[in-house]
Each structure stands twice: as structure tokens, then as C-alpha cells.
Chain A
Amino acid sequence: EPEVTQTPSHQVTQMGQEVILRCVPISNHLYFYWYRQILGQKVEFLVSFYNNEISEKSEIFDDQFSVERPDGSNFTLKIRSTKLEDSAMYFCASSEWQALSQPQHFGDGTRLSIL
């Protein structure tokens, strides 16, 4: 069964450094998402992306964050200058159509640790 893959599985970075988290969504899916889950807390929506544009973003997704689909397969989340509070699991998801009617398929996440 097709799946969403994320790399790396664990990223350790110094505070203030830039990080890029990578995702390969399911090939025929059109909507892409990033979520984060701080340890012990709920999964939180960050951003959705469709047709090479951001569809929606949450308050968490400030100017430090950006997303890109640099080619036909990868979907990336960049954090420009990391802070300690950015430490979390970051999940990528994709769906054939919008969340209202279609299930989202999640990757296994990247654990981001900021030192």
C-alpha cells in the first residue's frame, strides 16, 4: 500500500539554525499538510498546501516557517531560525482531495530536537 515517507526520522539542531524536514507524499495525492505534536500534547495543524500554494495556515505557522514543493515528489517544511520550543514531532500528511471529504494519510514523523 502506498505510504507517506518522511526524512530524517530524527533531527538534532542547535538553536538558531535552519532545518529542512522532507516528505514524499503519496503519488496521486493533491493536498499536502504539515502537523506538529509537542511531547505529551495534541497533534496541531500547521499548514495545508494545494496547487503549489498554501491553502490554510495556523497561528503557529509564522514567518519562521515555509513550505515548498521543489519537484514533483518532495514536500518540505523549512524552519528558518529554530527555537527551543520548536522541538516536537513533525508529521507530514497527504490526501487525494480536501480534508472535508478525504482521509489524510500520515507519515511516521520527524522528531526535531533543538538544543
Chain B
Amino acid sequence: TQLLEQSPQFLSIQEGENLTVYCNSSSVFSSLQWYRQEPGEGPVLLVTVVTGGEVKKLKRLTFQFGDARKDSSLHITAAQPGDTGLYLCAGAGYSTLTFGKGTMLLVSP
């Protein structure tokens, strides 16, 4: 069974701070997807990383896939209250996604 561990589980910061959340596994994934989930809604895809070492930027969000394709990180610069939510990483198999438990981020004004 492939497992994804996300850390920290919960993060509470002030507006304007930077933060990094991590997604680690002992398994190699062909690709890894990051989602954000808000209460009462389904996960919304942020990015897919495919190549080991790949870095993708989405405005203030920077995603990195580890060289060995076992881990990934999400860095947010100058966090805003609108970034509040549950951030999920998911490893992609042929037709499945294996999710981590997520990092709950709270950004206070």
C-alpha cells in the first residue's frame, strides 16, 4: 500500500508570512498532484508535477517534486487569508489517486 505523509498537519500563521508544507512517501509516484479543499466542497486541483526535480509556480505558490519522485513540497510566499484551506497531495497511479491526510492552513489577517 502506498502511503503519503503530509506535514505539518495544521499550520496557523499571520498574513504576509511564508510557509512550506511537505508530502513524503517511501514509494515512487509517476506523478503527484496538489489539491486544495475548502469546507463543504470537493478537492480542487492546483498543480500536477511529473518529472523528478520539477518546480512549478502558480502565482505565490511554488511546488517542487523531489528528484526521486517520492516527495514534494508546497511553498507559499506572503500568505493571504484567502489561502486558508486544506492542502492535499495525491500520488497518481494508472487510474487511482492516493491522498495524504492534508495540511490545514489558517492564515489570519
Interface residues of chain A, those whose CB is within 8 Å of chain B, are: 4, 31, 33, 35, 41-45, 48, 50, 55-56, 58, 91, 93, 98-101, 103-109
Contact A104–B100 (Cβ < 8 Å): no
Cross-interface CB contact of B48 among A44, A103, A108, cutoff 8 Å: A103
Interface contact B33-A43, CB-CB below 8 Å: no
Determine if B75 is an interface residue (Cβ-Cβ < 8 Å).
no
Interface size in chain B (residues, C-beta < 8 A): 25
Give bound CA distance, A101 to B94, whole Å: 9
4 smallest CB-CB distances across A and B, nearest first, come from A106-B42, A48-B95, A43-B99, A42-B101
Chain A residues, CB < 8 A from B101: 41-42
Tell me the bound Cα distance from A100 to B41 in angstroms.
23
Report which of B40, B90, B95 forms a contact with A55, defined as CB distance below 8 A. Answer: B95
Q: Which residues of B contact A (CB under 8 A)?
A: 30-31, 33, 35, 40-45, 48, 50, 88, 90, 92-102
Q: Are A105 and B95 in contact (CB under 8 A)?
A: no
Q: How far is the CA of A109 from the CA of B42 in the complex (A)?
A: 6
Residue of A with least CB distance to B98: A45
Smallest CB-CB separation from A89: which chain B residue? B42
